[in-house]
Structure formats: C-alpha cells, structure tokens
Chain A
Amino acid sequence: MAPISIPTSSRLPSSLRLEATNPIVSKTLSRLSRPSLISIVLDWLDENNQALSAPYLVDTDEEDYPEDGLYPPASSVGELREIYSDLQARKGSKREVVDRIIEGDWRDGLSLYQLAMVDLQYLYDHPTSQKWSAYRIVPLRTPSSSTEAEAHPKVNKESLTVPRFHPSTFLQQLQAQVLPDVKAHYNFDRHKSLPILILRIFILDSPYNTDLAATRHGGDRISANSDSSRTVYIAFPDASPHIFISKSQTVGPAASGESKSLRSLIVEGIPKALSRPRERYTLKSTSLSTRNLTELIHRRGSGRTNAAGGGWSVYADPKKKVSPLNTVLPTPPASEGDDGVGTGAKEVEFSRKRAVSPATEREERAAKRAKRVAQARFGDTAKVDDGKGVERVDIVIEDPFRMETRRETAPDHGNLTFPRSSDGEGSDGERDRPRESRAGRRSNVQEILNQERDEDDIDQEVEVPEGRWRPNVRLTFHGTHVFAGIRQLVEQGVIDGERMPGWMTGEEGVTIGAVRHGRIRGHKGSGI
C-alpha cells in the first residue's frame, strides 16, 4: 500500500490490486469457462506481464517461508506455468482453478489489469453478453459570436470534417472530464476478430487512486451486484465516425441510482473528450442497439453497407460487381445445362410436373415466386446464418387509420374493435392513448422517439392532418435474428412480400423507429 493516500483526479493505475477476498474478484473469475481462465492465467504468467500480474512467489532458499497446506506458493514463474499447463491438460472443475488463483497464487489480490483481461475474455467468449447502442459522432457548429456560444450548440450539417479519434488523447481528455471523486480504470483492447477497438472503463467510487480505493474504508462499498453497472465498454470501429457504448446491465431500479450516475458521468464525457479546440462534436443516437457487434459493424462500420440495407445491398456486394470491361451480360441468357445441379433439378421437376395436380402446381409456383420476391426485397441480407441479427425491433405506427379501408372491410373484420365514431371523438382518443401507454413497460420506447422528434426538424413540417383517428399501434419483434425471421415468413408466403413495407426488410438499419406514411420517420436508412 502506498504510504499516503491523497485524493487526486488521476486515473487508477493498472497495477492497483483488488484484494483477493473482494467479491468482484471471485465473481469475475468464476464467470469464465475453465479453458479460457487457464489460458488467461498463462497469459498473466508471461514474461511481459510480470509488472502487472505477478503471482505470489516465495524464495525457497530462505529458511522460514510460510508453508500452507492447500496451495503452497511456487518459487518461480516457470514452475507456476507448468502447474497451469498441467491443469490445462487434464480435466477438472472450474472451481478448482478459481480457488487456486484466489487462495494460492494471487492471494495478494488481482490487479485491475488482470480483471480487465478476464472481463474482456468474457466478452469475447460471450459476444452477445453486452447490449450496444450505436451513436454517430457529429460535428457541432463553431459559434461565431459570444451569444451564439452560450446558446445550445447546433449540429453542423454542412461540415465536411470526418471526426478523427486518437485513443491516448481521447483517454486524457476523458479523464479530465471525470470528476475527482470518481476513479476509473481504463483498458484498451483490440477485438480479436472484428475491426474495433474496445475501451473498458471500470469505475470505482472513491477519491483515492491508491490501494485505498478498493477497500471499504477508502470510500467504495463494493458489492458484487454493482459489478456489471460499474463497467462500461466503449467500442470504436475502425475508420467510422461512430461509437458503440454498452448499455448498463442492471435489471430493476434497485441497483440504479448511484452507479447509474457514475456511468452517465463517463458517458457524458465522451463527446467532450472527442472534441478539440475549434472542433466540437456531439453524439447522436442512431436508433440502433443490439447485442450483435457484427451487425453494428455491418451497419455503422467503415464499409459500403452502411446505407444500403435490404435489397439495396446488391449495390454494395463485391460479388455482384460488373466491370465495364466485361462484355458478358450480367444476367446471360440461360444456356442448356447451365450447371450440373440445375439441370438435375429441372429434370426432376419436369418429370414430376406431369403427375401433379394443377393445385399443387399452382402452390409450387407461388412458393417459387415468394422466394424470388424475398430475394428481391432482402437481397443477400437477413439470412439466418449470416450472424448479423438484431434481437429486438420496436416500431411505433403513427399513421392515421385508413378510413376508406374501414368502410370497405368493416363487416369482415368483426374482431377489429375501434370506435365507430365521428372524427372529433377519434382525435380525443388519440390524445388519450399515448398517455395511457406511457405507464406501460415499453414507455422508454416512446420517450426515445419523442426525443428524436425534437431532433428531426425536417419532419416537423410533415404533419398529419388533425381530426383523424390515429390508433396507438406498437410492434415489437423479438428473436435471435428478427429480419431473417421476416424473410423466412415471406419465403413461406405468410407475409406478402410485394405489399410488405420497406422497414420490415431491415433496410433502415434501426431497431427503434416510428413509422409514418408507411416509412420509418427521419430517412434513417440514408445514413445521413
């Protein structure tokens, strides 16, 4: 322990050790699987990591080294490496390894660096363990006068600067934004397979940046529950002015409050840390939040696919590239026996065709057509196995009820209960409904959308004429890969692919949106 602990505003050093008895330590360690844990321990024992993750060693030459029964301390790193390699080779429980770490080889405690490694390994092992929201870094207008400077800064839409991000400068700035009574540990890591840089921020509520920070009398009352809420991940995709921030995992209001405000302190500091003199930025929500990082990279990454979702993906698909120097038609006329499999299938179909009844034939044709329609609407996106799925999509329909259809089809749809009222009463209902629903579970959806409405000044002018009944319809799609599911329904002919609105193909790239005039409000898919 450092001789004096004075409150400072610097960050927590990576070498700071949390006591091994700390509940966070055991909880973090036991989240990992046994193989990952052992491979991480072997990483700790690497020569290069000794400064930050040195194990508890004892010099065997000394006469009176303490002899423990269960986990006798090793004398060298090499010896420990052998022990853990042995553990790796044979089977056993995870508990065994965790106990060995906590009570044996790292009884002095684990450094924050080690904890960060474990946490990040957990993130790689369970890529869907965090829910990420994508934000766009947008430049703000540089105020030209002092009065303008005091007003709320406006987004500079005409700016041609692409925000740059420099990790170490960013960290320095972020640290400057964080108040001195909160201490954070920062750890950058390169994602193993995706082009992103992950920053893990671990927050301790303490004014000290020495060992005292992690102890009870040092200020922070660490409990195992608050662990997840005090860790914030920020992911920076390569060559893309976007930023992904992990959402707080706490469920229920109990753990929120204090830890939430710590987190929001950090999050609020991000745009300020990205800014430079005469170059200010702010974060703008892009209405996309998912657990799937691949999807985020696909939609908000550096490639061509950002604003060409759904059927538009043909323009971004490198396989569909047609060089102007190639004279062969992109869709050449089918010649006989285009490929072996095709002819086989054709023959089978041909021979079967004679046998089947006209009804079956019609069905087959319809199924084929549905497949083709799905291909046209979705392109090569939204395949079940493409690994780019969102797990939840919230849609609010803001279109007024179509009265003309009601008049035509009202007798058929007896189960549709809507007030057969005059327009005046209808608008009353419209005013009441949002208020009712605000108490519901999905109230934050409405909140986010309201917030967005304020931002979207373009859409302000398009107002639905008053006096028409607007039912309050919300749709929530849930699943492992929502749009792949919709695609399958189209392919099966459950959804009419030709009449299906465009947002159902996922081409807008949002997971929360309001639909007006049959389209997601705010031109979300254009990427601007």
Chain B
Amino acid sequence: MPAESFSEPSALDDEITSLKRRAKQLRADIKTHVSTLASAYAPEDQEDVPTGLLDVISQQQAHVQESLWRIGAGVTAFRAKDPDPRAVDGGAILGIRLEIMRSGRFLQPYVVLLNRPYGAKGGSEADEYVAKTYLRVHRHTVPNCIPLGGLAARYLPPPTVTATGDEDAPAKRKIQDLTLFVKELRQRLVAYHNRLGAVADMRKAAGLGGDEKKRKRKRNEDTTTREPPQEPSEEDESQEDGINDSGPPRIVEISLADAEAQQIKIDWNNGDVCRLVIDTGGKVEKCVMYGAQGRDMPAAREFLQRITRVEGLPESIRRKRGLEPA
C-alpha cells in the first residue's frame, strides 16, 4: 500500500512534466506555423482582415525581408534610437550589422552604432552640412582585437578643419568615408574569424579536442615565466598524454599567441616548436621551426613553400598528422 501511494504522485509528476514539455513544443510549433502563414499570406482585400492580423503579417514580412538582406548582403544598416533624452541629434542612430558566417552557421552579428554629434543644426550652411553627414562611432560590439579606433580615425575623422599648408588655399575639411570604413572593418572581422576557424580546424585535425578553456589556461602558463619547479610538471604531463619517445612526433598543442589570432603556436611532444604568423589577408607570412638541434630553417622553408594560405593549414595537418619539423 505505501509503495503505491508513493509511486502514484511521482507518476503524476512525470506526466505533468512530459505534458508541459509537449505543450512547450506545441507552442513553438504554433509560432513557426504563424510565421510561415504570415509570410506566405498576402491579403487581397485588406478591409476583411482584422487589424491585429494585418500587423502581424506586415511585421512578419518585414522580418523576412530583413533576414533575406542579412543573408545576401552580409552588411546591413538599420535605424535605432538612443534612449538617452540628452542624446545628440535627437537620438538618431545608424546601426551597421556585420554578419559572420562560419561552417554553415550565422554567428551573432557584430554591430556598430553611429551617431552625428558634430556641427549644429540651423547654423550656417557648412554647419548644417557637417551635422547632416559627419558620423561618429557611438557604441559597438566589435572585440578589442579589431582596431576599430584606428579604422574610425582613418575613415571617419571628425570634421576638423585642417590647414592645407600654404596660407592662401582654403582650409580643407577631412572627408569621411563610411563605405570604406565598413568594408575594411568587415574584411578584418571575417579574416579574424577565418583564422580562428583555421586554428579550430587544425586542432580538430590534430585530434586536440577537449576543453578550450583549460587549454587556454595551460597555454598562458606556458608563455609565462614560471618558477623553475613548475617546469618538470609540464614535461610530465606531455609525456603522459603523448607516446613516449617512440613513434613519430605528435602535436600536443596548437594555440593562439596573440589577440588577433595572427600568431599560431604548435608544440610537439618531443619539444619541437613551430610558430606561424599569418597576415591580415590570410597569407602565411612567416614560419619558424625549432627542433632538437636549434632552429630548423630547411623545414620552415619547405613548409612555407607547401602552405601559403591559412586555409591550407588544417589540410596539411590532416594529411601528415603533424608537420614534422625535424
């Protein structure tokens, strides 16, 4: 009897949870159906349709169009409003959304929000022009490893009037170029993600899965000057997870050595080290290899001849299971 009284409520609980899960799923289904219907349905006679539904349909269609642009163009602009009551230019914000795609998935887009703090409306003609056209980066979500400040200083300079050198010539105002700014920014972001992706692929090809955070921590410990007693423990570790001296050298770690992901460090279990430098365009710029006998120039040269672009890096590892420096 007591067994039953215990089991019955728990069975009910189970049922409730499963039903809740099902309800949740069904609600998600409704949303999908609603969006499908709303994007497909174009009411001919708008008067018959309730206004609420019309709203949904127009919202849905706007969303679909926006998505389409985002998929196709990669860079899209949008308007936003600064909630700050004392914001410049009435809080008008021009947003720029930069899509990043990686292995068939859209990552969270990067956003740069621009406002127009310069000049004064209702002033002279020049002032009016400045107020209308000169932009400034207001907020953004671009990470630190992209030199957004430098790009903004180059392509979106403030409208300061600079003397041209000789006294007679009229002073010139610096010209902003939003297109070039966005173009270069996007290029850098995409290149950054390509490099990150290449390193991830290399790790996968070398069979180095696992906890990225842990690796990262270990990597930083490696680069720091640790106290001497720490050194043997590192070696112990690499010997533990590596095959001891027998067999071909194996890659034990592939890591990034800088914020921009331009420098890649590869460690073998026999203590050999390779350092790659990739330029902003994705070309393998430099390669240095250190073997047991010191710097191994021929191997590095050979590698540089074989692999010229960042895209080739994962393949090289997949084929050879370790670049074999020595």
Residues of B within 8 A of A376 (CB): 83
Q: Do the beta carbons of A330 and B63 come within 8 Å of each other?
A: yes
A162 touches B145 (CB 8 A): yes
Given A325-B71, A329-B35, A502-B83, also A113-B220 (CB < 8 A): no
Encoded as 1 (CB less than 8 Å from any A CB) or 0, chain B from 220 to 237 comes to: 110111111110110000
Q: How far is the CB of A404 from chain B (nearest CB, A)?
A: 16
Contact digits for A304-339, partner B, Cβ 8 Å, 1 yes 0 no: 111111011001101001011111111011010111
A523 touches B136 (CB 8 A): yes
Q: Is A5 an interface residue (CB 8 A)?
A: no
Task: List the B residue with the shortest CB-CB distance to A306.
Answer: B144
Q: What are 20 residue pairs bridging A and B, where the CB atoms are less than 8 Å apart in the complex? A: A51-B229, A52-B229, A159-B147, A160-B150, A161-B150, A162-B258, A190-B221, A238-B259, A302-B143, A308-B140, A315-B113, A324-B71, A325-B67, A332-B35, A335-B30, A335-B34, A339-B24, A376-B83, A377-B83, A526-B140
Residues on the A chain within 8 Å of B139, using CB: 307-309, 312, 315, 507, 525-527
Tell which of A167, A242, A335 touches B144, judged by Cβ atoms closer than 8 Å.
A242
Within 8 Å CB of B259, what residues of A? 162, 164, 238-241, 302
Determine if A517 is an interface residue (Cβ-Cβ < 8 Å).
yes
User: Is A158 interfacial (CB-CB < 8 Å)?
Assistant: yes
Cβ B35 vs Cβ A502 within 8 A? no
**Is A171 among interface residues, defined by CB-CB distance under 8 A?**
yes
A246 vs chain B, min Cβ distance (A): 19
Complex-state Cα separation, A140 to B96, whole angstroms: 29
Residues of A within 8 A of B143 (CB): 239, 302-304, 306
- Residue from the list A160, A340, A507 in contact with B147, Cβ < 8 A: A160
Of B31, B109, B154, B158, the residue contacting A332 (CB under 8 A) is: B31
* Residue contact A158 to B99, C-beta cutoff 8 Å: no
Contact B86 A519 (CB under 8 A): yes
CA distance A162 to B226 in the complex (A): 25
B60 interface residue (CB < 8 Å to A): yes
B27 touches A338 (CB 8 A): yes
A329 and B138 in contact, given A302-B143, A302-B144 (Cβ under 8 angstroms):
no
Residues in A neighbouring B227, C-beta threshold 8 A? 14, 52, 113, 187
Chain B residues near A48 (CB-CB < 8 A)? 229-230, 232-233
- Among B111, B144, B153, point to the contact of A157 (Cβ < 8 A): B153
- Is A499's CB within 8 Å of the partner chain B? yes
Q: What is the CB-to-nearest-CB distance from B57 to chain A, in angstroms, rounded to a whole number?
A: 10
- Check if B5 is an interface residue, CB within 8 A of chain A: no
B-contact 0/1 string along A235-273, CB 8 Å cutoff: 000111110000000000000000000000000000000
Instruction: Apart from A302-B145, A303-B143, A324-B66, list 7 A-B contacts with CB within 8 A.
Output: A51-B229, A52-B227, A158-B154, A190-B220, A302-B143, A304-B110, A502-B84
- Give every chain A residue within 8 A of B82 (Cβ-Cβ): 502
Interface string of A321-362 (1 = CB under 8 A from B): 101111111101101011110000000000000000000000
**Residues on the A chain within 8 Å of B153, using CB:** 157-158, 528
Question: Given A48-B233, A157-B149, do A197 and B144 touch, yes or no (CB 8 Å)?
Answer: no
Q: Kindly list chain B residues whose C-beta atoms are within 8 Å of the C-beta of A519.
A: 84, 86-88
Asked whether A528 and B32 contact (CB < 8 A) given A501-B86, A502-B84, A523-B136, the answer is no
1/0 per residue, CB under 8 A from A, across B107-134: the answer is 0111101000100000000000000000
Residue contact A51 to B141, C-beta cutoff 8 Å:
no
In the complex, chain B residues 129-182 whose Cβ is within 8 Å of any chain A Cβ: 136-154, 158, 160
B154 partner residues in chain A, CB cutoff 8 A: 158
Taken together as a complex, chains A and B put the C-alpha atoms of A501 and B91 apart, in Å, by 12
Interfacial chain B residues near A309, Cβ < 8 Å:
139
Interface string of B8-47 (1 = CB under 8 A from A): 0000000000001001100100111011100100000000
Report the bound CA distance from A311 to B139 in whole Å.
Answer: 11
Query: Roughly how many angstroms separate A341 CA and B317 CA in the complex, as a whole number?
Result: 53
Q: Which residue of B lies closest to A158 (CB)?
A: B153
Q: How far is the CA of A159 from the CA of B63 in the complex (A)?
A: 38
Compute how far the CA of A339 lies from the CA of B52 in the bound complex, rounded to whole angstroms. 21
| A415 contacts the other chain (CB 8 A) | no
> B216 near A: Cβ within 8 Å?
yes
What are the 5 A-B residue pairs with the smallest beta carbon separation, nearest first?
A518-B86, A502-B84, A239-B259, A324-B70, A304-B141
Which residues of chain A are near B152, meaning CB under 8 Å? 528
Tell whether A160 pairs with B86 under 8 Å between CB atoms, given A302-B259, A312-B113, A315-B141: no
User: Is A423's CB within 8 Å of the partner chain B?
Assistant: no
Write the nearest CB–CB distance from A87 to chain B, whole angstroms. Answer: 24
| B217 at the binding interface (Cβ < 8 Å) | yes
Partner of A50, one of B63, B117, B160, B229: B229
Tell whether A458 is near chain B: CB-to-CB under 8 Å: yes
B244 within 8 A of A: no
The residues of B that contact A301 with a CB separation of less than 8 Å are 144
C-alpha gap A501/B223 in the complex (Å) = 45
| Contact status B63-A327, CB under 8 Å | yes
Kindly list chain B residues whose C-beta atoms are within 8 Å of the C-beta of A302. 143-145, 259
Which residues of the other chain, A, contact B35 by a CB distance below 8 angstroms?
327-329, 332
Q: Does any Cβ of B come within 8 Å of A33's Cβ?
A: no
Which residues on A sit within 8 Å (CB–CB) of B108?
304, 318, 321
Counting CB contacts under 8 A, is A56 at the interface?
no
Binary interface encoding of chain B residues 286-314 relative to chain A, with 1 for a CB under 8 A from any of its CBs, else 0: 00000000000000000000000000000
Distance, CA A190 to CA B143, complexed state (A): 22
In the complex, how many angstroms separate the beta carbon of B14 from the nearest chain A beta carbon? 16
A128 on the interface (CB 8 Å rule)? no
- Asked if A166 is at the interface of the complex by the 8 Å CB criterion, the answer is yes
Evaluate whether A527 and B140 lie within 8 angstroms (CB atoms) in the complex, with A167-B224, A324-B71, A338-B27 already known: yes
CB-CB contacts below 8 Å: A76-103 with B: none
Centre residue among B20, B30, B71, B140 by max chain A CB count within 10 A: B140
How near does chain A come to B137, taking the closest CB pair, in angstroms?
Answer: 5
- Do A325 and B106 touch across chains, with their CB atoms under 8 A apart? yes
Interface string of A155-190 (1 = CB under 8 A from B): 001111110101110010000000000000001101
Q: Are the CB atoms of B63 and A501 closer together than 8 Å?
A: no
- In the assembled complex, B64 has its CB within 8 A of some CB on chain A: yes
CB distance from B226 to the nearest CB of A (A): 7
Task: Report the minimal beta-carbon distance from A445 to chain B, rounded to whole angstroms.
Answer: 22
- Shortest Cβ distance from B218 into A: residue: A190
Q: Does A240 contact B144, Cβ atoms closer than 8 Å?
A: yes
* Residue in A161, A307, A337, A339 whose beta carbon sits within 8 Å of that of B140 in the complex: A307
Check if A447 is an interface residue, CB within 8 A of chain B: no
Confirm or deny: B59 has a beta carbon within 8 angstroms of a beta carbon on chain A.
Answer: yes
The CA of A525 and the CA of B139, in the complex, are separated in Å by 7
Select one of B64, B226, B229 contacting A327, CB under 8 A: B64
A329–B59 CB distance below 8 A: yes
B56 within 8 A of A: yes
Contact A324 B39, beta carbon cutoff 8 Å: no
| Complex: A43 Cα to B325 Cα, angstroms | 38
Judge if B85 is at the interface, Cβ distance under 8 Å: yes
B31 contacts A171, C-beta separation under 8 Å: no
A476 touches B (CB below 8 Å) = no
Q: Does A455 contact B (CB under 8 A)?
A: no
A350 vs B147: C-alpha distance in the bound complex, in angstroms? 54
A188 contacts B224, CB within 8 Å?
Answer: yes
Interface centre among A14, A48, A311, A458 (most CB of B within 10 A): A48
